Amino acid sequence: MKYNRILLKLSGEALMGQQQYGIDAERLMQYASEIKAVAATGVQVAVVIGGGNIYRGVEAEAFGLDRVQGDYMGMLATVINSMALQSALEKLEVSTRLLSGLTIQRVCEPYIRRRAVRHLEKGRVVIFGAGIGSPYFTTDSAASLRAIEIEADVVLKGTRVDGIYTADPEKDPTATRFDQITFDEVLSKNLNVMDMTAFTLCKENNLPIIVFDMNTQGNLERLLNGEAMGTLVNDGGKRDGRKPLLDPKKSLLQPLVGNQPEQA
């Protein structure tokens, strides 16, 4: 496989399938099957999923709600989606752990970086829920931050389009797709890849982003097998790549987390 540890970012809206809101069971199981196939190859998989199919915090003010309150409601929506994905993965007999930026002891573990890395080293799929646990930050920002913290090789942003275009391909039929583009070019062309906070985190930490079509069956596995797909965003080779991952057999984190209780 091309990457050893990945952070997969999924949108909550994608879980709606053809519905107007909520979770489409067929789409949910498709995503779970894709993740299972990749995890079975030995790739360490972490996932962040949005909550837009249930509630978006930025819509709070339109309803007359406090923005901070709305953002916390949005975080809870991501936990609901994360629980659904965890259940789908476990139905397929994939060992999974849900770590939350908010403390919800009954349904998920609190986010602890060392614990997250330890779960990944043990071959478990790790789902990060509730964003980073603070308002005013999107799930894109959570994906970038968690990817940096766990030293992922890449952020894979699964969308309904097959990459980054010069314009919205759903509105402009003349839009053309980039196979590869640098962080600086994305900024200069004002292309919408992630929110600025999330994108800057990736740029400053030299963390590549690949935007690809997640809704086509098998795309995730083909991408990780090295097939050219989607759009790669990186620094264009100006700096060295990401640091090599910790060797699971020699991880310095093991003695630090080995005595911590783990959720069964």
Q: pLDDT by residue (tens digit) across 29-65?
A: 999 999 999 999 999 999 999 998 988 766 666 777 8
Predicted confidence at residue 2, as pLDDT, reads 80
At 238 the pLDDT is 62
The CA angle 124-138-159, to the nearest 5 degrees, is: 65
Question: What is the CATH superfamily name and number for domain 5-257?
Answer: Acetylglutamate kinase-like (3.40.1160.10)
Cβ 42 vs Cβ 68: under 8 Å: no
pTM value? 0.86
Residues of the chain with pLDDT under 50: 240-241, 243-264
> Phi/psi class of residue 87: alpha, beta or left (left: φ > 0; alpha: ψ in -120 to 50)?
alpha
